[in-house]
Chains A and B, each alone.
Chain A
Amino acid sequence: MPRPTRLKNTRSDDEQFELRLIVAYGFMILMFIVLVGRFVYLQVMQHDHYMTLAQNNRISLVPTLPNRGLIVDRNGVVLAQNYSAYTLEVTPSKTGGLDSTVEALGKLVDITPRDMKRFKKFLSESRNFEPVPLKMKLTEEEAARVAANGWRFPGVEVKARLFRDYPFKEMTSHVLGYIGRINQKDQDRLDDEGKTANYRGTDYIGKTGLEAVYEDDLHGTSGFEEVETDAGGHAIRTLRRTPPINGNTLKLALDIRLQEVADKLFGQRRGALVAIDPQTGGVLAFLSKPGFDPSLFIDGIDSATWKTLNEDWQKPMVNRALRGVYPPGSTFKPFMAMAALETGTIGYNDVRAAPAFFTLPGSSHQFRDSNKHGNGSANLARAIQVSSDTFFYKLAWDMGIDKIHPVLSQFGLGSRTGIDLDGEATGVLPSKEWKEKRFAKYKPEVRRWYPADVVSIGIGQGFNAYTPLQMANAVAIMANDGNVFKPHLVQEVVDAKSGKERRIETQPTRQLPFKETNFEYIKHAMETVLKPGGTAARIGVGLQYTMAGKTGTAQVVAIKQGAKYNSAAISEQQRDHSWFVAFAPVEQPKIAVAVIVENAGWGAAAAAPIARALTDFYMLGKVPADLVGQLTTVKTGTADPNAAARAQAERAAAEQETPDATPSP
C-alpha cells in the first residue's frame, strides 16, 4: 500500500511546535539584524554622502532638455527646426521689487510694449518662483550688457534657449501647426497621462497640427544632471549626468516643392489644395490659403494680434483643407455615376435625354441646366464629360437617397478620413437618418425627407458638404480602383537614438466591392473631361501624359457668423467657389488632387489651371513659366518675361470660359 502524502509532520506535536517557534523567532531576529545593518550602512558608512545631499540645495537634480525632433519633407528639406538664442528671464519671487527691476532692465535692453504685454500674460499664468521670459531672442550685445550688470539684479538671468523655427512660415502653417508655452490645460493633461516628470524644465509643447499630433515623438526624453550648487544656487560642478534622448525626426510624405508651387499658383486667392499619392495614401501637398505666421504663436501671442487674426474676414486661422466644408458641385458627378452603375440604375450605353430643364412628376418647378440649351441626349460618360445637370437630376430622382448613400459613403464622403491631424471635419453625406438627426429640434415638416431633396444632391448641391481633403481622398480611391488608404502626412518617424525608421501604414485599409469595369468606365469618362468637348478641354491642351478630372462649382452660402462686414469683400464673397478634382496618369495614377478656389467663379475657371500646372510640375518637373525665379525650393533658370506673360494669359483666358454648372436655385 502506497504511503499517503504527509503534509503534517507526525513527530510529537509539542516538540514540533517549539521548534517552529524557535525558527520563527530566530528568523525575526535575523531580519531585524539585517535592518539594523542597513541603518548602520546608511547612517554611519554613507552618512557623509547623504548629509551632503540633504544640505540645503547643495545638490540638485536639474533636468536637461532634449532637442525637439525635426520635421522634414519627403526629400529631407527641413520644415521645422530649432535654433538657440538668449532670453532674458525674471523670477518674480527673487527680485527685490518686480516693477523696479523691469524698469531698470528697460534701460539695458529694448523692451517693447508687446514684450511687456506678453510678460504680464505669462506672469498671470505662472507661479511666483518660476522664471518668466521678459524678452526673447536678445542680441549678443544685449545679452552681454545684462550679464555684465547681472549683480545688480537678483532673480534676473540670461539663458540660452532653443527656439522653434518654421522656414516656410505661412506655406506650411496648416500642416505643421506650432508649439507654444505649456499652459494650465496642457499641464493637467500631462498630469493625467503621467508625463509630468518627462516635462520638467520643458516650456513648450505642440499645440496644433503635426506638432501636436506627434508630440510624444517630437518631444523626446528629458535627461538630468546631479549638480553641486553653492548657497546662491549657482552650479559649481556636475556630479552625474544622464543625457537626454532627443525627439524623433518626422519625415513627411509631403513634397515642399509641390507645396510651394501650389502656394504660388494660388497667389493671393483663398482656398485649399490637397494632393495625395493614390498608391500609398501619402499626402504630397496640403495647402490652406491664406496661412498664418506660426512664429507669432511660439513666443506667445498678444491679444491684439490674436484678435486681428481671428477677426480677419479671410479667416487665416481656419484650416480649410481639413475643416472647411463646401458643397462639391459637379465634382460629385463621377461618384454619383458609380452609384448609378453599381445599383444597376443605368447601363454604360443607355442614352437618355439631357434637356434644358428637369421637372418632377406633378410639379411645375423647373430644375434648370447650367447650359441653357441643354445637351440634347447623352449616355452616362458623356453626361460626365459635358457635366449635364438635368441628366444627373433624373438619375438621382430614379435612384432615391437610400440607394445613393451606401455607395457614396464607401468613398469616405461624410466621414473622417483619419488623417494624422486633429480636428478634421466630418462633412455631410445626406441621408434620411442624417436629416432627421440634424433637424431634430425642428418641426416634423422640416425633419422629413422629401423625395425632391434628392434632386439637387444629384449634382453635388443641396445638403452635400465635404472637405477638400475628403474630395482628394475620394478621387484617390477612384483613381486606384477602390483601394482605400488612410491619408497620412507623416511617412516615417526616424528614431533619434537608433536611426531606425518607423513607417506609417502604407497598406490599403480596405478594397471597395465595386466592379472594376465600372471604375474603368468612370475614369475614362473623367479623362474625356479634359478632351475636346469636355468642360475642361482647354486645360487638357498639350498634355504630355494622361490626366482625368472633373470640374465643379459650389454655390456660396451666406457669410459666416462673426465675420466682419467688409464692403469691398462682400461682392466677391458672393461669387461661387471653383472646384477641380483630378488624377494623373490615368493608367497608373501617381497623384490625385482636389483644388478649391473660393469665390473664383465657376468650374474650370480658377481651380483647373492650378491642378494642371501642379501635375505638370509633379509629372515633368515643369515649373510654370510665370513662377520661374520665384521659387525658393526649386532651382530654375532665369525668368522669360514672354513665357511668363503667356502662361498668365492662358490661365486668365481659362477663367473666361463658359460656366459648366450654375445650379438652379
Chain B
Amino acid sequence: MQPHPLKRLWDFIKEPLDGWLMLFLGLIYVLSLFVLFSADNQEWGRLTAKFGYTVLGLVVLWSLAYLRPQLVMNFAPPIYVTGLLLLIGVALFGVVVNGSRRWLELGITRIQPSEIMKIAIPMMLAWFFQKYELSLSWRHYLVAGLMIVVPGALVLKQPDLGTATLIMAAGFFVMFFAGLSWKLIIGGLVTFLGSLPVIWNFMHDYQKKRILTLIDPMQDPLGAGYHIIQSMIAIGSGGPWGKGWLNGTQTHLDYIPERTTDFIFAVYSEEFGLVGNVILVILYLLVISRGMMITARAPTLYGRLMAGAITLTFFVYAFVNMGMVSGILPVVGVPLPLVSYGGTATLSILVGQGMLMGIANQRK
C-alpha cells in the first residue's frame, strides 16, 4: 500500500536529517527566540527577520545533509581558492570600515571573504588529507600548515584578530584529528606562549586596549571597559534564578551594548539566571556530544576530519562568546551560535551542521 503523499514528503524531508541534532539545535533556537524578543524591546522586527534567514539556512542545511559528502568534498579546492583570491582582493581593494579592511565592494553588495574561509579552510584540509591518506608524510602537514597560515595572515592584517583566530583554529582542528604529532602541538604551544611579548609589540593599539581592559576593566570604566563591566553586572545581578523573562533591568535600561548580537548572552543570563545558563551550556554540550559521536563513527577520513573540526569550531564559538561576555576572554566579535541575531553567522553554523548530518548519513 502506498503511504499518503504528505507522509512521503515528510519522510523525504526527514530522511537525511539527524534527529538528535535537530532536537538539540531546535531547543536552542526556541530559547533564542524568547531572548531576542526581550533584547529587541519586545518588538517583532528582528524576530521576523530571524525567521526569514532561518528558513533559508534550513534549506541549505537540508541540501548539505542530503548530498553525499564525497560529492560536497570535491568543491573544497574551488571554494578555498576563490576565498583566498577574494581575501587578496580585500587586501588590495578592500573597503575600510572602522579602521579595518574587511569588506569587498561588489557593486550592489559588500561581502566579507573571511566568513567564507571559516568553512573553506577545514574543508580544504580534510579534502587534502583524504586525497593523500595513504601516503601522508611530514610534507603534507607542512603544506596543510601553509594553507592555514596564508589566509590566516591575510585576515590578521585586515586587522581582524577574532576571525583570524577562529579560521586558524578550525584548520588546526583538522590537523589535530589528522594526527599531527603531540610533540609538535606542545612545542608549538610553548613557542606561542614564548612569543607572546613579540606579538604584543605588533598589535594595534585597540587590540592592546582590549586585552588590558580585559585584565582590569576598571582601568577604563567609562571607555573601553564599559561594555564588559555592564555585561558582568547584567550576568551577576541575574543571580541563581534570574530576574525573569522581560524583566532584565540592565537590558531594558539600555546598559548592554550590542544586546541583540554579540552580547545577547548577557540578556539571557540576566533574565534566566544560573539555571538558564546551565541549561544552555548543557544544550550546547549535547550538540557537541552528538557531533563527537558522528565523528567517531564516520567511515572516511574526510568525514572524520570534517565532523571533528565542525564540532570543535561550534564549541569554540559558544565558549568564546560566553567567555567574553562573562569577562574571562577578550572581547572579539564572535556570535553565540544560533542565538545571536545575524544572518551570516546563523548561516555559517547551519552550513556546518548540514555537512555534519551528511557525514552522519554516510554510515547508513
A residues within 8 Å of B by Cβ? 4-9, 13, 16-18, 20-21, 24-25, 28-29, 31-32, 34-36, 38-40, 42-44, 46-47, 49-51, 53-56, 61, 63, 197, 200, 222, 224
Specify which of B137, B281, B312 is in contact with A36 (CB 8 Å cutoff): B281
Chain B 277-308 residues near chain A, CB threshold 8 A: 277-278, 281, 284-285, 288-289, 292, 295-296, 304, 308
Specify which of A21, A32, A49, A56 is in contact with B308 (CB 8 Å cutoff): A21
* Closest beta carbon of chain B to A37's beta carbon, Å: 10
The interface residues of chain A lying within 8 Å CB-to-CB of B250 are: 54
Please state if B285 and A29 are interface contacts (CB–CB under 8 Å): yes
Please state if B181 and A43 are interface contacts (CB–CB under 8 Å): no
**Contacts A21-B295, A28-B315, A47-B239 hold; do A224 and B221 have CB atoms under 8 A apart?**
yes
Name B237's closest neighbour in chain A (CB-CB): A54
Please state if B233 and A54 are interface contacts (CB–CB under 8 Å): yes
**Contacts A42-B236, A43-B277, A54-B250 hold; do A8 and B319 have CB atoms under 8 A apart?**
no
Please state if A7 and B138 are interface contacts (CB–CB under 8 Å): yes
* Closest beta carbon of chain A to B19's beta carbon, Å: 21
The interface residues of chain B lying within 8 Å CB-to-CB of A200 are: 222
Q: Mark B169-184, 1 if CB is under 8 A from A, else 0.
A: 0000100110111101
Instruction: List 6 other contacts, CB 8 Å, given A31-B315, A35-B281, A44-B274.
Output: A8-B141, A42-B232, A47-B239, A54-B234, A54-B237, A200-B222
Please state if B326 and A51 are interface contacts (CB–CB under 8 Å): no
Please state if A32 and B281 are interface contacts (CB–CB under 8 Å): yes
* Closest beta carbon of chain A to B163's beta carbon, Å: 20
The interface residues of chain A lying within 8 Å CB-to-CB of B97 are: none
* Closest beta carbon of chain A to B222's beta carbon, Å: 5
Name B182's closest neighbour in chain A (CB-CB): A9
The size of the chain B interface, using a CB distance under 8 A, is 52
Please state if A39 and B277 are interface contacts (CB–CB under 8 Å): yes
Please state if B233 and A53 are interface contacts (CB–CB under 8 Å): yes
A275 to B40, CA, bound (A): 65
Please state if B223 and A197 are interface contacts (CB–CB under 8 Å): yes
Specify which of B181, B238, B308 is in contact with A8 (CB 8 Å cutoff): B181
Please state if B284 and A43 are interface contacts (CB–CB under 8 Å): no
Name B278's closest neighbour in chain A (CB-CB): A36
Specify which of A29, A35, A44, A56 is in contact with B326 (CB 8 Å cutoff): A35
Please state if A5 and B138 are interface contacts (CB–CB under 8 Å): yes
Chain B 141-179 residues near chain A, CB threshold 8 A: 141-142, 173, 176-177, 179
Please state if A24 and B312 are interface contacts (CB–CB under 8 Å): yes
Please state if A18 and B296 are interface contacts (CB–CB under 8 Å): yes
Specify which of A8, A24, A197 is in contact with B138 (CB 8 Å cutoff): A8
A20 to B235, CA, bound (A): 34
* Closest beta carbon of chain A to B261's beta carbon, Å: 20
* Closest beta carbon of chain B to A44's beta carbon, Å: 6
The interface residues of chain B lying within 8 Å CB-to-CB of A20 are: 176-177, 179
**Contacts A4-B138, A21-B296, A32-B319 hold; do A50 and B181 have CB atoms under 8 A apart?**
no
Main secondary structure of the interface of B (DSSP, over half): helix
* Closest beta carbon of chain B to A137's beta carbon, Å: 29
The interface residues of chain A lying within 8 Å CB-to-CB of B258 are: none
Please state if A50 and B137 are interface contacts (CB–CB under 8 Å): no
A56 to B238, CA, bound (A): 14
The 6 closest A-B CB pairs, nearest first, are: A50-B236, A54-B237, A197-B223, A7-B138, A42-B236, A43-B274
Specify which of A24, A39, A224 is in contact with B222 (CB 8 Å cutoff): A224
A47 to B239, CA, bound (A): 6
Specify which of A28, A29, A55 is in contact with B312 (CB 8 Å cutoff): A28
**Contacts A43-B236, A43-B240, A49-B236 hold; do A35 and B312 have CB atoms under 8 A apart?**
no
The interface residues of chain A lying within 8 Å CB-to-CB of B223 are: 197
Please state if B181 and A44 are interface contacts (CB–CB under 8 Å): no
Please state if B319 and A35 are interface contacts (CB–CB under 8 Å): yes
B residues within 8 Å of A by Cβ? 136-138, 141-142, 173, 176-177, 179-182, 184, 220-223, 232-240, 249-250, 253, 269, 273-274, 277-278, 281, 284-285, 288-289, 292, 295-296, 304, 308, 312, 315, 319, 322-323, 326-328
The interface residues of chain A lying within 8 Å CB-to-CB of B253 are: 56
* Closest beta carbon of chain B to A308's beta carbon, Å: 41
Q: What are 18 A-B contacts defined by CB distance under 8 Å?
A: A8-B136, A8-B138, A8-B180, A17-B177, A24-B308, A28-B288, A38-B323, A39-B235, A39-B326, A40-B274, A42-B326, A43-B273, A47-B236, A55-B249, A56-B253, A200-B222, A224-B221, A224-B222
**Contacts A42-B326, A44-B274, A224-B221 hold; do A51 and B285 have CB atoms under 8 A apart?**
no
* Closest beta carbon of chain A to B234's beta carbon, Å: 7
**Contacts A21-B295, A44-B274 hold; do A56 and B319 have CB atoms under 8 A apart?**
no
Please state if B278 and A50 are interface contacts (CB–CB under 8 Å): no
The interface residues of chain A lying within 8 Å CB-to-CB of B136 are: 8
A92 to B274, CA, bound (A): 42
Please state if A7 and B181 are interface contacts (CB–CB under 8 Å): yes
Please state if A32 and B284 are interface contacts (CB–CB under 8 Å): yes
The interface residues of chain A lying within 8 Å CB-to-CB of B239 are: 43-44, 47, 51
The interface residues of chain A lying within 8 Å CB-to-CB of B319 are: 28, 31-32, 35
The interface residues of chain B lying within 8 Å CB-to-CB of A16 are: 179
The interface residues of chain B lying within 8 Å CB-to-CB of A29 are: 285
The interface residues of chain A lying within 8 Å CB-to-CB of B234 are: 54
The interface residues of chain A lying within 8 Å CB-to-CB of B322 are: 35
The interface residues of chain A lying within 8 Å CB-to-CB of B141 are: 7-8
Specify which of B138, B177, B328 is in contact with A38 (CB 8 Å cutoff): B328
* Closest beta carbon of chain A to B265's beta carbon, Å: 10
A16 to B251, CA, bound (A): 48
Please state if A9 and B181 are interface contacts (CB–CB under 8 Å): yes
Specify which of A32, A34, A42 is in contact with B235 (CB 8 Å cutoff): A42
A5 to B181, CA, bound (A): 10
The interface residues of chain B lying within 8 Å CB-to-CB of A54 are: 233-234, 236-237, 249-250
